[in-house]
Amino acid sequence: MDYAAQDFTPEQIERARAYKRSVRPLRIISTILGLAVPLVLGLTPAGAGLVRVAGDVAGGGWVARALLGSVALSLLGLVLRLPLSMWSETVSRRWGLSKRGWGLFAADTAKGFLIGVVLTAAAIGALYALMRHAGDAWWVWAALAAALLALLGSFIMPVLIEPLFNKFKPLPDGPLRERLMALVEQSGVPVKDILVSDSSRRTTAANAYVSGLGKTRRLVVWDTTTDSLDTGEVAAIAAHELGHAARRDVLTGTVFGAVGAALGVAVLAAALHWSPLLDAAGVDHAEDPRSQALVRAVLVLIGLIGEPWGLAYSRYIEGRADGYALDLFRDPDTIVRMERALAVQNIADLEPRRWEVLLRYTHPPIPARIAHARGWAAQTGVAIPKPLSAPSKDPGAP
């Protein structure tokens, strides 16, 4: 059965296909670049040479090479990715998904780079300090530190990092806030506040999410969502997000991330003691900060192997949150309308191939999520949502 045709017009389906064709070259080149650059730098002496040159600027000591070498590698990555980022921004504008001017694009890029380069340099510096001073057990301490950082990230992201890119304000009093607060109370999930982010400065896409743990947990709704969807549809999104909190998905994901980070360090330690890799990278021993390009290459390979498993888990918890939302909200018709509205607004792929879902998707495809809602309705005796493929006004393709 063609599930997409039940709920989307031929024009909407063709628009999604056309958008997919327009971004396919970007995805291919981005994937190739994301693999080729770290592997070339890490598995040849090129990366070690760049780190040496950068460190020599400040005397050539191990600290200088660790910190300035990290900055140099990050800067090279930025320079190589920037044309692709600008191309992606241009495509998003052409399709009406991006509202950023080049000034805001530059500011976002600069802030993202500075945050990343500082955190990466600090991590690299700490890694080589442990290698040089913690003996053979350095990797144990590094694994514990990586796990701790993953845990801390869930607490500091909402209060330190997110405000650097968006402004947040409490959802104003009114019918929508009353509806969402009633859902929060019904779910029994402790939420510090319901916030609206000024995402419309950057995009026309709609979204919402739960972030933080404990006292930092909040439900965030993009202003594009409140502006484009009706109260029931926004409440349906909120019910899904509350499902993540109720099932402790943020905490579980954080713990899995911490365990994954620790395991990654253990694999990294084993790789750094394999002499053929060190020879390929042009370094004599792992404690030499010139090996940090090799560190990045190994981490990229670890991520490449682990990513499909992480995506599969993400799709599982997203599907589970959909089920929670249906149980809490008990209005599959509104949920189907919400899924359809988001798909049209965000130009979602309505016909993804199986391998695309396995290798790229953090969420089940939209047609599968709509089918889930209809299946829930059939099982619980609630009226099954009817097909929604009546003509509607949609943004035109470029």
Q: What is the mean pLDDT of residues 37-61?
A: 96
Q: What is the mean pLDDT of residues 312-336?
A: 96
- Give residue-wise pLDDT tens across range 271-280: 998 999 999 9
- Give residue-wise pLDDT tens across range 353-368: 999 999 999 999 999 9
Q: Could you give the CA distance from residue 254 to residue 260 in angstroms, rounded to a whole number?
A: 10
Contact 283, 290 (CB under 8 A): yes
pLDDT of residue 392: 44
Rounded to two decimals, the pTM is 0.90
Structure tokens at 390: 């009546």
Q: Is 318 annotated as a binding residue?
A: yes
Q: Is 244 annotated as a binding residue?
A: yes
Question: In three state form, how does the secondary structure of the chain look?
Answer: CCHHHHHCCHHHHHHHHHHHHHHHHHHHHHHHHHHHHHHHHHCCHHHHHHHHHHHHCCCCCHHHHHHHHHHHHHHHHHHHHHHHHHHHHHHHHHCCCECCCHHHHHHHHHHHHHHHHHHHHHHHHHHHHHHHHCHHHHHHHHHHHHHHHHHHHHHHHHHHHHHHCCCEEECCCCHHHHHHHHHHHHHCCCCCCEEEECHHHCECCCCEEEECCHHHCEEEEEHHHHHHCCHHHHHHHHHHHHHHHHCCHHHHHHHHHHHHHHHHHHHHHHHHCCHHHHHHHCCCCCCCHHHHHHHHHHHHHHHHHHHHHHHHHHHHHHHHHHHHHHHHHCCHHHHHHHHHHHHHHHCCCCCCCHHHHHHHCCCCCHHHHHHHHHHHHHHHCCCCCCCCCCCCCCCCCC
pLDDT level of residue 391 (50, 70, 90 thresholds): very low
pLDDT of residue 2: 66
Per annotation, catalytic residue among 288, 322, 333, 349: 322
With 80 as the cut, is the pLDDT of residue 141 above it?
yes
Average pLDDT of the chain to the nearest whole number: 92
- Give residue-wise pLDDT tens across range 207-252: 998 887 777 788 999 999 999 999 999 999 999 999 998 998 888 9
279 tagged catalytic = no
Q: What is the mean pLDDT of residues 267-295?
A: 95
In the chain, where the domains are located = 3-136+268-292
Q: What is the mean pLDDT of residues 113-124?
A: 96
pLDDT of residue 395: 45
With 50 as the cut, is the pLDDT of residue 131 above it?
yes
Q: Is 240 annotated as a binding residue?
A: yes
Q: What is the mean pLDDT of residues 69-87?
A: 97
241 tagged catalytic = yes
Per annotation, catalytic residue among 162, 241, 249, 349: 241
Q: Could you give the CA distance from residue 150 to residue 155 in angstroms, rounded to a whole number?
A: 9
With 90 as the cut, is the pLDDT of residue 19 above it?
yes
pLDDT of residue 393: 45
With 70 as the cut, is the pLDDT of residue 133 above it?
yes
pLDDT level of residue 397 (50, 70, 90 thresholds): very low
Contact 334, 238 (CB under 8 A): no
Cα distances (Å, whole numbers) of residue 384 to 208, 263, 319, 370, 374: 26, 46, 19, 11, 6
